[in-house]
Amino acid sequence: MHASPNRPPCGVLVIDDDPDCAEELRSLLSGAGFTVSSEVTAREGLRRFFSDPEIGVVVTDVLMPRLDGLAVLDAVRAGGDRGRSAAVVLLTTSLDPEIISEALARQATAFVFKPIDPTDIVRIVGDAVHARQENTHRD
């Protein structure tokens, strides 16, 4: 999923407080051709997002200590035009309808339940990267 000459690059950032999950997802998405970085805290993830202009897709766990995935979503969305146009995919083991409702109300791009189906997450991230590249190319 590298950028074509006509499309800007679009990196993927994985944020998960479980280092094994973060690495597994980073490895899966890298193996599918995406440019991926990962962080194990929301604060470090947000720092990386705002310091790396090539990141256009954030895949984050919802249930994390201190700052959760909904806080990550809010912070990204508050980040001006770039934050509003970024794709944010939320991952969770929770079936709590309130969390799902909040995520959708806050404009999450997608909501994925753990355990993650590798085919599904690669498709969802691929769709998000493609949409981000198309939107950026039009601007």
pLDDT in tens, the chain (139 residues): 444 444 557 899 999 999 999 999 999 999 999 999 999 999 999 999 999 999 999 999 999 999 999 999 999 999 999 999 999 999 998 888 998 899 989 999 999 999 999 999 999 999 999 988 787 656 5
3-state SS, 89-132, equals: EEEECCCCHHHHHHHHHCCCCEEEECCCCHHHHHHHHHHHHHHH
Nearest to 88 by CA among 114, 32, 49, 47: 49
* pLDDT value, residue 3: 43
- Please report where in the chains the tokens 């981000």 appear, as a residue: 132
Q: All domains of the chain, ordered by start, with CATH? A: 11-138 (3.40.50.2300)
> How far apart (Å, rounded) are the C-alpha atoms in residues 67 and 46?
10
Six token digits for residue 17: 């407080």
Using a cut of 0.85, tell me whether the model's pTM lies above it.
Answer: yes
